Amino acid sequence: MSQFAINRQPAVNGHTTRRLETRLKLLAAATELFAVRRVPDVTSTAIAKHAGVATGTFYLHFPDKHTLFEELVDEALAEIRAQFQPAHHSPPSVDARRLEIDSMLDVVERRRDLIRAVFDRGETSELAGRIQDRIASGLESAYEQDFREQDIQLHPGAAAQARAAVLVRIVAWWAEDPGRARRDEIVDILMEMDPMRAAAQAFRKRTH
């Protein structure tokens, strides 16, 4: 349950602490169930039972299983996005970019079951699309500044959409079966298809 990063402020009373602990139990129980069943096949009652609490307690914390699922996804997405810190003074080195991608794949490996559930072809497909849009939005903001500062003649919005589509599709494909490709091969592919690679190359040409 330690994987759930909740910013714990000093508890006002024992009730606050117990409420946080119950929420963590529900999140952990849902993660375990989503790992072995498709999201449509997991009920709120099953999550509550697996967490050792009453069904009514579940609804004190979440309105439905979809809200809980999206909270899990938001946390995993925040972990992935945290690996990509935009550079605003110079383009990151090749080694730095490789480290970012490798760190992202660490998160993918830890959250593999959750990622597989997100990209299940059932009722979570709309969520997968929203995740791609959010990744693209974050990338576009970074690209706008980086491309301008480094005089890169690429459209930041289009570059962000392309990058997000590649990231999402490769991550989903690899999470489904990591045996399909070695981790270093995934890193190589993502490096080759990164618009920021052009930024790094342009910067080196201007400074040598």
Instruction: State the pLDDT at residue 180.
Output: 92
Q: What share of the chain is helix, strand, coil (3-state, %, to 5)?
A: 75, 0, 25
One pLDDT digit (tens) per residue for the chain, 208 residues: 345 544 444 445 666 888 899 999 999 999 889 888 888 889 999 999 999 999 999 999 999 999 999 888 888 888 877 766 554 445 567 788 888 889 889 888 888 888 888 877 555 567 778 888 888 888 898 888 878 877 788 899 999 999 889 988 898 899 888 899 999 999 999 998 887 776 666 555 555 5
The residues of the chain that CATH labels 1.10.357 are 68-207
- Classify domain 68-207 by CATH architecture: Orthogonal Bundle (1.10)
Q: 14-63 adopts what CATH topology?
A: Arc Repressor Mutant, subunit A (1.10.10)
The residues of the chain that CATH labels 1.10.10.60 are 14-63
Distance CA 132, CA 52 (A): 34
Q: For residue 118, with 0-12 CB atoms within 10 Å meaning exposed, 13-18 middle and 19 or more buried, which class applies?
A: buried
**Considering the entire predicted model, what is its pTM?**
0.70
